[in-house]
Amino acid sequence: MSTCGRLATFLNLSAATARQRVDYQANQEGIRDAAGKLQIAERMLEEAKSNAINQGLLLDLQLNALESEAQFMDED
């Protein structure tokens, strides 16, 4: 499945690990056919992408300086 490959690339996993995660989720949901597993892999990829966007926004918020600390400099 190319979707598992994209999932593996996006999550920095091996292709085998991504397939195992998809198979595990399919087993939890009682899905055994390839089409169902493909849908699960696509859903997992979309969830990973949305989580990455949320994590990026959170990091951006955390990296902004407070007004009271904006001019603060640390000694080397």
Is the confidence at residue 15, as pLDDT, over 70? yes
- Say how far apart CA 68 and CA 76 lie, in whole Å: 21
Is the confidence at residue 33, as pLDDT, over 80? yes
Question: Which pLDDT value is given to residue 31?
Answer: 92
| In the chain, domain spans | 2-58
Q: Which of 26, 24, 28, 22 is nearest to 5 (CA)?
A: 22
Q: What are 48-58's pLDDT values in tens digits?
A: 888 777 777 77
